[in-house]
Every structure is written in C-alpha cells, then in structure tokens.
Structure 1
Amino acid sequence: MRSGSRLDARSVRHYGWILAGLNLLSLAFLLATSRGGVDRFGHILGTDFLSFWAAGKMLIAGAAPYDAAAHVAVQSAVFDAPGGYPAFFYPPLFLIFCLPLGLAPYFVSIAAWLAITGAAYVAALRVWLKELDFRLSLPLWLAAFSPVFLTITHGQTSFLSAALLGAGLFLVPRKPVIAGLMLGLATFKPQFGLLIPVALLLTGSWRTIAAAVFSAAMLALVNTVLFGPEVWADWHALTSKAQDATASGEIGFAKMITVFAGARLIGLSDGVAFALQAIASITVIAAIAWASWRRGWSDALAALVLAGAALATPFALDYDLLLLGFPLLWIAATGFRDFERWGCALAFVAPIIARPLAMQVGVPIMPFVLALILAFLLKCVPPRAA
C-alpha cells in the first residue's frame, strides 16, 4: 500500500486509456448532440469564450470592452444566452490577447484559440519532460487529464496561463530572462501569481524579476496605448461586481476548487469562508517562503509554486487544474516516495469527479487533494544551503 506498487506502468496505461476514452466520448457526444453550435443544455459551444470573442469584436470597432450592455449586445448577435451572459472581468492586460479573436467568426476564432494555446501548453509540458529526461505518452496524458477536456469545452484561457506559468517557472535557473518575460505575460491572470514574487525574491532570482517587471509593464503600456487609459478605470469599476459574483456563488461554488468556495459550498458564511481562505493563503505563502529561503531555485520549488497556486487564491475553477499537470509530472519523473503513487493517481482522477460530487452531494474535495500534493512536494525540497 505504501509503495503503490499495484499501480505499475502497465496498470497506469490501462487506466489512462479508460479515462481518455471517457473524455473523448464525452467531447464527441457534446459535439454530436449540438445543433447550430448550441449544445443539448442550451449553451453555445465554448461558453466562456463568447466573452473573449465579444471583447475582441468591440476592440476592433473602437467600443469600450467593459461596457456590459454593449458586451451583451455583441454576444447576443451570435447567441442570446438564457438567464444571463458570460461576463468579462479580465484586466486590461488581457485585451491585447482578445483583439485578434474578433477578426474571425466565432467558431473559427475558438478553434484557432484552442489550437494555438493548446500547442503552447503541450510545448511547456515537453520542456519539463525533456529536461527531466522522463518518457511519457503525451497524447495519452492529454486525452486522459480531464482539465484539458474542461478547458476545451469552456473555451477558456487555461492553456495559455498554464503554458506561461509552467514553462516560466521551470526556466528560471536555465533561461532566467525568458522565464521572466513569460511570467510577466501571465499577469493577465493575476490570481495565480501570489506565490511567484515570494519564491523569486527569496531565491534571489533578480534577472527573472527584472524581466518579469519589464514584461508586465510593457504589456500594460501596449494595452494602454492601443485602447486608452480609460480602460483601467472601466475595469476597476467592474471589480466589485466580480467580487460579488464570486462571493454570491453566481459563478458556481461547485465549479471552483478553492478553500473559500469549498467553505461556501458546505454552507459557511462569507466571513468564515474568507477567514479560512486567508488562513490557507498565509499557510501556503509561508510554505513557499520556507522552501525558498537560502535554497536557491529548484525544479521542486517550481512544482511547489504551481501546486500551491490554486490554494493561495479564493478564485480558481476546475479547468485551472491544468497547472497541476506540471507538479504531477515532476513527482513521477523523480520517483514516487511513500504513498505518492496513490496520491498522484487521486489528483489525476479528482478533476473528473470534483464538480459532479460538489454539485450532487455538496462535498468539495479539491482543496484537500491540492493540499496533499503540496505536502508531497514540501518533502522533496532540497536542503538549505549552509
């Protein structure tokens, strides 16, 4: 039991094919039962992508992307979402990514978006596999890992954010400037960057820090020049609505994977849920600080930061678990220690059942699974320098 020897390579491949089959059949069923680009549940294929595409159309037309009424009108021209519309809460840093999306029709645009960002995610995984000298059937991994399926069906940004964060953190000791440039570009999803400054500062990764600051500043400057300084005020005015949507459960606590969402799901109040999230965030930040101080950057630290990212923020959804792929690969490549084989198997499978379990039974499992992987990685941190 301790070694998990029953989960040998042959068994893992068999289970992988089962998971891949389930994901691919689900995707095929979703597409086959859709009519005119609308699935059997009444949602447009890609759901969340509609807001990114609409923002791109508005930017091309010179309209204000954070004008909710105008945003609704643009979306409704393609699909009139029942009971609301996919809101656009991303910061202005993301606008430059949205701009080209509006150049093509919706379904052409989403196909291109998923192909390009998906290729970026695959490239980031290959960087880890090559440097770790670990052999893996990447197509099987991708087909079996359910956050890939969730990202595709939601038309989300997770391929891009995971690629930038995954490759960026891994390249810190190898190509520090390139790493920093990638981390700076990833600031369009700032909630996943809480741990990165702690790790970079305490390991003295100054070239990466400088490159990241430069990259983020240039991203902000380009967006400001292209779309006007008023977009920052417009976005800031929307942030309270975004916070309200998170706290009220409008987004859906069952879809979220954070401590805050888990606490709200089981019926705790906002205040208690935020307090528990604060405790979790501080604990994870302290763990990253301990793992960074006087140790220098390591692959274990990169994996640790990626595993802790979703625990440190109150806002993360199940498709964001693409980030977890890198820590799981690192653990497998460096050799499983006590109970790690079972724990990693649980973490790999959990995203499939987390949302249904939360929706039907009201039980949040992902914070506990993420904490387990974080604990595994903390044991692997290299000794502190003398």
Structure 2
Amino acid sequence: MRSILNILALVILLGIIGWRMSAFWNDPDVLPPDDFVEYWAAGKLNLHGENPYDPELLYPLERFEANRKDMDEFGPTPRERAVMMWNPPWTLTIAMPLGMLPARLGQLVWMLINFGIVGGCAFLLWRLYGGRSNHWWLALALSFVYMPTVYCISSGQISGWILLGATLFLYFEQKNWCYLAGAAGVLMAIKPHLVYLFWPVLLGYSFFHPRGWKIIAGGVGTGIVFTLIPLALNSQVLHQYLDAMGNRPPEQFKSPTLGTLLRIPFEEPTESIYTPLQRNFKLQFVPNLLGLLWLCYFAARQKSLNWNWRDKLPLVLLVSFVTAAYGAWPYDLLILLSAVIEIAAGVDRNSSRRNIFLSAGLFIAITLTMALMSAFKAYSFWFFWAGPTILTAYLLLRRIISSSAPVLSQID
C-alpha cells in the first residue's frame, strides 16, 4: 500500500512540475529571467571573444534576447541598467555552456541544474552528518522549504554551486581524496568573498597536516584549468575583470551586510532605501577584520591538531558569511545549508522533545519571517538580520545537541 501511495505522490508531483514547466515555456512572464541573465549574457559574450564585464555589451543581450523587462527601471543608460556578473573569470567555465543556448531554454536548464544541486547536496550532507538513512527525505524537505533555496532557484543565481563545492569538499576530504577535495574547493571560489575565511583556514591546516598541500594542489590545478578555458576564447578576460573591479566595483549596492550598516550613516539623508551608496566603500571591509580576529581566537582555542573539516567547516562558512564585505544577498544564504542539515541530522539522531521543538521552532520562525518579508516585497537590505540569526541559532543548537549526543564534537 505504501509503495502505491509513493508512486501516486510521484505521479502527482511530476504532473505539477510538467504543468508549471508548460506555463514557464509558453508565458515569458512566468518566472522572468532575473539574475540568470548575467551568467547567460556573460557566457555568451566570452564565447564570442567579447568582454563579459562590459555593461554596454551586456545590456542589449539581457534586455532584448533574454527579455528582462524590469531593467529599464534601473537607470537612464545601458551602463546603469545592465546586470553585471561580478564573479571572477573562472566562473565563465560554468556560464559559457548557458550562452550556447537560447535564453529561455538556458534558464530552464539552469533551473533544473540548481534543483539537482540542492537535492543532491541535501542528501549527501544528511549522510555526512549521520542522519538516519530512512529519514533522508527530511533533508530534502528542509532544503526546499528553506527560503534561500527558493530565492536562488527562482532568481537563477549561482549560489548553489558554492554549496556544491562545500559539500563535495567535505565528502572527498572524508574519503581522503585530497586532490578531488581541492578541485571541489574551486567552486567555492565563485564568490570567494563570501567564504573568505576558508582560504586562511586551509592554508593553516596545511602547515600541520601534509594532506592539506594535496588539497591546495588539487585546487590550484583545477583553478588554472577553469581559468584557461575562458582565457582560450578571450585572451583579455583577466584584464577585463580587473578593469571592471578596479573602475566599476559593486560599491553602490545596499547589500544586507554589516559593512553596509557602517556606511549608511555617512551617506546623504535620503527618503528611499533604493538610493545607491556613494562613498566610503572601504568601510564595507571592516567586518572582514572582525572575521579574521575571530579566526585567530578560534584557532588559539583549538586543543589539538586533530582538525575535523566536517565539524568545523559549517561554522567557518557561517562566520565568513556574516562578516562578508559585500554581497551576502538572501539567495546567498543557501551556502549555509550545511549548517542547517548538520543540526537537523543531530536532532534526528537524538530525537528528544526539547531538541525537536527548539530546532523546529527556530527554523520555522526564520523561514516564516523571510517568507512574510518576501510577500510584502521587502528590499534585500532588510534581510541583514538573517545571517547573524542563523549563526546564533546554530551555535545554540549545536551546543545543546553536542551535550546530549557525543557523536558530534564540541565547538571549541
């Protein structure tokens, strides 16, 4: 009977997906392209040897070929309207295949890939953190209810690939496949500023564990390959990226970061949160100093050299994200899914009522708050509370679960 119900549920689910995909394909106003256009257009330009960081070239592709209609509201000129891909050139190795496809087909393929990435990472993380094998569906349910997943997939963002990099890094490192772990780490370098503490941690780890140098070697080798591929089609792409970051950095955006909170008091008084920031971009990087100070304190408190990446990486990613210089948009919170599933797997192993109610209550409260903010179309800046709240909830729940379940090591 259960198998029949499972098959029926699968048929209904596939029917719903098919119905929505049909609407998506036939109506351009269903799931408009949003941020997907930046990767598709940049990939298309680089494929043809053109500058993927030039807003004058990006705008006509994004506005007319990809049909992103709301771009006309961004400013009076194409330079102000274009949606820039600020990711480093090795990201183009992932973006260029999208540029080979018509925009709408590419968006559909990108959406399905992101679905697969989140589902696969959820399943793998559940196994890595010791969730009961017959409860794997709980990891999928949490992952797809988690609002940043919705934001990332619906907007066509690339944050899922960073989650994939972190998940595969943990998996390969646990298997002692060091070169593959390093190769997976390259995916985290798609938005290196959001996981910036990972790099000094890996370097420090390598001084005490020889296998760390194998991880670095795998990462450097893969990074070179990922960079040479777009470079082979556009020999100026490195210079073009450095020029864009040097002359047109993403300094005007009010991203939900501590750095933005530091800058706002120094801006001219304005009635609109949409008004671009104008000055003191350097203040965005002050939180990085706080993150590095935390890392020094965290390293000093380690009582042994037996570093376990499975136990430590989620916290490193959380602190990196909370103290990131810029970015850290609501869809980027998907990077923190490893922490969410670590806690869920710990609760699953030790199903006390206290742990279940506390962890479920916090998850529901955070999820509903984000959902309500989205329903009322809150500007992304107002999500600045989300990262610190998830970090606080993680530390609280991790300590509670660790005290009652010795499978998880303590946070030192």
Q: Is the TM value for this pair above 0.5?
A: yes
Could you give the per-residue CA deviations for residues 69-96 of structure 1, whole angstroms, max 9, x where no partner exists? Answer: 1222222332352131312222111112
Whether the aligned pair in 1 keeps the contact of 2:333 and 2:387 (CA below 8 Å) is no
Query: Aligned residue for 2:88?
Result: 91
Query: Aligned residue for 1:323?
Result: 335
1:357 and 1:371 mapped to 2: Cα distance?
24
2:82 and 2:371 mapped to 1: Cα distance?
26
Query: Aligned residue for 1:225?
Result: 232
1:317 and 1:50 mapped to 2: Cα distance?
17
Whether the aligned pair in 2 keeps the contact of 1:260 and 1:273 (CA below 8 Å) is yes
Residues 350 and 132 of structure 1, relative CA distance in 2, 3 Å threshold: same
> Any runs of at least 4 consecutive aligned residues in structure 1 with deviations exceeding 6 A, and if so which?
31-35
Could you give the per-residue CA deviations for residues 251-283 of structure 1, whole angstroms, max 9, x where no partner exists? Answer: xx3xx4422234456x46565953652454234
Query: Aligned residue for 1:260?
Result: 259
How do 1:1-386 and structure 2 match up within 5 A?
Answer: 36-38=27-29, 45-78=32-65, 79=67, 81-82=71-72, 83=74, 84-134=81-131, 135-137=135-137, 138-174=139-175, 175-203=177-205, 204=209, 205-228=212-235, 230-240=236-246, 242-243=248-249, 245-246=250-251, 248-249=252-253, 253=254, 256-264=255-263, 267=265, 271=280, 273-274=283-284, 276-286=286-296, 289-290=299-300, 294-315=305-326, 316-335=328-347, 342-353=361-372, 359=379, 364-373=384-393, 375-376=395-396, 379=399, 382=409
Whether the aligned pair in 2 keeps the contact of 1:308 and 1:374 (CA below 8 Å) is no
Mean Cα displacement is larger for which, 152-161 or 134-143? 134-143
Residues 332 and 185 of structure 1, relative CA distance in 2, 3 Å threshold: closer
Could you give the per-residue CA deviations for residues 298-350 of structure 1, whole angstroms, max 9, x where no partner exists? Answer: 42202212322311312211101112221011112223788655444444445
1:157 and 1:191 mapped to 2: Cα distance?
14
Give SS of 2:189's match.
Answer: helix
2:369 and 2:247 mapped to 1: Cα distance?
30
Residues 52 and 291 of structure 1, relative CA distance in 2, 3 Å threshold: farther
Amino acid paired to 2:29: V
Give SS of 1:171's match.
Answer: helix
Query: Aligned residue for 1:18?
Result: none
2:239 and 2:343 mapped to 1: Cα distance?
43
Amino acid paired to 2:340: L
Amino acid paired to 2:224: A
Query: Aligned residue for 1:17?
Result: none
2:225 and 2:343 mapped to 1: Cα distance?
35
* RMSD, aligned α-carbons: 3.6
Mean Cα displacement is larger for which, 192-201 or 346-355? 346-355
2:385 and 2:91 mapped to 1: Cα distance?
31
Whether the aligned pair in 1 keeps the contact of 2:51 and 2:237 (CA below 8 Å) is yes
Residues 384 and 63 of structure 1, relative CA distance in 2, 3 Å threshold: closer
Q: How far did 1:114 drift?
A: 1.8
Give the TM-score of the pair, scaled to structure 2.
0.72
Q: 5+ residue gaps in structure 1?
A: 1-23
Larger radius of gyration: 2
Give SS of 2:162's match.
Answer: helix
Mean Cα displacement is larger for which, 372-381 or 171-180? 372-381
Could you give the per-residue CA deviations for residues 89-121 of structure 1, whole angstroms, max 9, x where no partner exists? Answer: 221111121211122211110111121233123
Give SS of 2:331's match.
Answer: helix
Q: 5+ residue gaps in structure 2?
A: 1-15, 75-80, 268-278, 403-407
Whether the aligned pair in 2 keeps the contact of 1:47 and 1:155 (CA below 8 Å) is yes
Give the TM-score of the pair, scaled to structure 1.
0.76
Residues 71 and 357 of structure 1, relative CA distance in 2, 3 Å threshold: closer
Give SS of 1:313's match.
Answer: coil
Whether the aligned pair in 2 keeps the contact of 1:295 and 1:383 (CA below 8 Å) is no
What percent of counterpart residues are identical? 17
Residues 357 and 171 of structure 1, relative CA distance in 2, 3 Å threshold: farther
Could you give the per-residue CA deviations for residues 118-142 of structure 1, whole angstroms, max 9, x where no partner exists? Answer: 3123212211112333124244223
